[in-house]
Structure 1
């Protein structure tokens, strides 16, 4: 992987002559690093394409996807693309995501219509890896883009708003949907928080809330591709594929907040323990 990075990095144009060329070079390098960060999500997408085009006798599609995800996760760990701590974080996302999947499917928010041996309450186990892939992206982006956070909020408000987001995904079926209240709260809590990223040895920063929104949008784009390939189906898609509602962007926006808070809080906790 390191050799591949070196080779590909050499083809990225680097020039200080002219602002346009400089920004173009930086943009390409940024896109390259984002692609490296998306290695696990991209793999899942490729497996969705493969499993959509071919079938394996006696091996249901969802079971094939589970095996593929487990193998890829093992490869990433043993090749040191992911550390033990990152694997722990990703496993947390898998468990949290699988719990939410079981609940959401029971509430008929979406479904997995195909047969699989590895289903629990109608949910194939591979689905947890789709949440894990979001955690993998956050961990990989932290490394490739040399991310640094400034003005991170206090532990308690950041944690409470994250818990509130996760709980609201369950309770809004029975009670008031607090997503917009939670959105307002997290904007207030993270108003001063910035993320610094490095591309071509140039440091840039952006409001963390804006990064939440951008990542949420691109996950929504990926969700449209995934549902088109039959990864799962919303109620409106059983008679034919339809674009996922734009309102889902707000759900992914909130979910990525939960993901990033978990990653950063654990990194801060680990750094604190090392100092002791």
Structure 2
């Protein structure tokens, strides 16, 4: 049965192929001939053609608008660290960011470097910025903004304050609320407090603000309370002194030493009893 059907189909195909002439099956000509005999208007097909063309045009316009809108959307690159972890991040302009533990930074890779160079952050980070006077560099936090051209500095956000320490160059440190602003040069630092609504230039140099990065702790006739504060920050622990010596001061350096060895040296030097509190 199938063979008989196939034979008839093949005969039909041969007949069409034998008698087919190019152009003889023109659908448009056939419609004109058919419509002219019956006095049929072509307005409806023409309107359909216009509608189809309009739909295509609207589609193209929509695609173009979507493309432009998508091009303006931010494309964020974000980097974060866990407690005790540090990371180095190079930006597209070769600016180097060293990220401390429990911190994050992000920037829009689409817009970075076109007119400005903007980075958002939280936590603690040290910046070594490539100089570009035409495109200033900015660090934005939830409380303040730091603007530079090319320099190295640290920004730390903690709770309701932001602190900036400048190693080289010059920076502008501006609070988000009000008009509080200071210009800081190499060796200077400042802190903004949300609670006090104050911008304070710190007069005492913090020799250990980069200890998390360098591994070096230095103390020069430093009051014991400040020593304990720096140790807590560097080792991320809670240290207390069980022997009260308010006048005690320390002069010493510790280069990437274990905490128990550091405490032993301080206790023997100052006749104190510094201990690390255990977490409950």
The TM-score range, normalised by the shorter chain, is under 0.3
Considering fraction of residues, name the structure with more helix: 1
**Structure-1-length-normalised TM-score:** 0.23
Structure having the higher strand fraction is 2
Larger radius of gyration: 2
Q: TM-score, normalised by structure 2?
A: 0.23
